[in-house]
Amino acid sequence: MHSLAKEAQDTHRRFLRVSITASILLGILYSGATFQRNTAYREPVTFLENTLKNMTPVPHHLREDICFFEGVKNFYITYKNLGILYQERGQWDEAVQAFENALQFTPSYFSPLYKATVRVPLGGVYEKTGRLDDASTVLLEARPDAPKPSVVDNLLGIIAIKQGEKQQAEFYFKRAIREDERYTPAYHNLELLSRQANAHQKTQNPL
């Protein structure tokens, strides 16, 4: 009886030591992971980049399956928000990549608004980086479903000016104003276009 009691006591002690050691190790690992995650939280871009690394991938052939709706939508939102942050920081190449990735997660069962709200900023980034033809294509695709067509038309007008299509630019600016009479950027750009035309006319026909 004494031997059995002593053996049970020793077993209990060993179990207790193992439990305490395991708890300490888990605490250290958890603390390290928490510290790393909290560091990522301090900077939005770093946070979203780390989030993408930790998300479960959705293979391309499964993105049209509505059963994977939540996973696909999470990737869409994360890439879209990351693209906006890159855009605000002037990281144009990274913004293009993020927006293009977001478009890869817009299956056919999504509302067309999902694609439009990515295509509009993507078109703006294309315009900033001199990819004018790509910008026009993306914006024309976005316009029918864009929540603010006036913004799209204004961007199309700016691109048309850069391409030397001033009549087309005038059309876009005026259409933007018809869409939203209080959209001041279109008024401003239309006025600049008119001044340029008047200055050119005076140059061609001096007094």
What CATH number is attached to the domain comprising 58? 1.25.40.10
pLDDT recorded at residue 22: 79
Q: Which two tokens stand for residue 67?
A: 């059963």
77 and 24 co-located in one domain:
no
Q: What is the mean pLDDT of the chain?
A: 89
Query: Residue 36 — pLDDT band, cuts 50, 70, 90?
Result: low
35 and 52 co-located in one domain:
no
15 and 106 co-located in one domain:
no
111 and 126 co-located in one domain:
yes
pLDDT per residue over 94-118, tens digit each? 999 999 999 999 999 999 999 999 9
- Cα–Cα distance, 165 to 129 (Å, whole number): 19
Query: Residue 4 — pLDDT band, cuts 50, 70, 90?
Result: low
197 and 152 co-located in one domain:
yes
128 and 161 co-located in one domain:
yes
Query: Residue 32 — pLDDT band, cuts 50, 70, 90?
Result: low
pLDDT recorded at residue 191: 94
49 and 30 co-located in one domain:
no
Q: Output the pTM of the full model.
A: 0.76
> For 119-131, b where at least 16 C-beta lie within 10 A, e where not — what string?
bbbbbbbbbeeeb
Rounded percentage of the chain residues whose pLDDT exceeds 70:
87
- Residue 81: phi and psi, rounded to 5, are -65, -35
- Is-contact 7 48, C-beta < 8 A? no
**What secondary structure does DSSP assign to 118-149, as a single string?**
HHHHHHHHHHHTT-HHHHHHHHHHHGGG-S-H
Give 57's DSSP letter. Answer: P
- Looking at per-residue pLDDT, the higher value among 27 and 64 belongs to 64
Give 56's DSSP letter. Answer: P
54 and 14 co-located in one domain:
no
- pLDDT of 44 over the 90 cut: yes
Number of domains in the chain: 2
- Looking at per-residue pLDDT, the higher value among 201 and 40 belongs to 201
Query: Residue 38 — pLDDT band, cuts 50, 70, 90?
Result: low
- Cα–Cα distance, 146 to 86 (Å, whole number): 21
35 and 109 co-located in one domain:
no
- Is-contact 187 177, C-beta < 8 A? yes
Give 90's DSSP letter. Answer: T
pLDDT per residue over 142-168, tens digit each? 999 999 999 999 999 999 999 999 999
Q: Which residues 6+ apart lie within 8 Å of 92 measured at CB?
A: 86, 125, 128, 129
Question: What average pLDDT does this structure show over 5-20?
Answer: 76
Structural domain of residue 22, as residue ranges?
1-42
| Number of neighbours of residue 193 by Cβ within 10 angstroms | 18
- Cα–Cα distance, 156 to 171 (Å, whole number): 10
24 and 104 co-located in one domain:
no
115 and 127 co-located in one domain:
yes
**End of a domain among 12, 27, 42?**
42
- Cα–Cα distance, 58 to 75 (Å, whole number): 9
pLDDT recorded at residue 29: 77
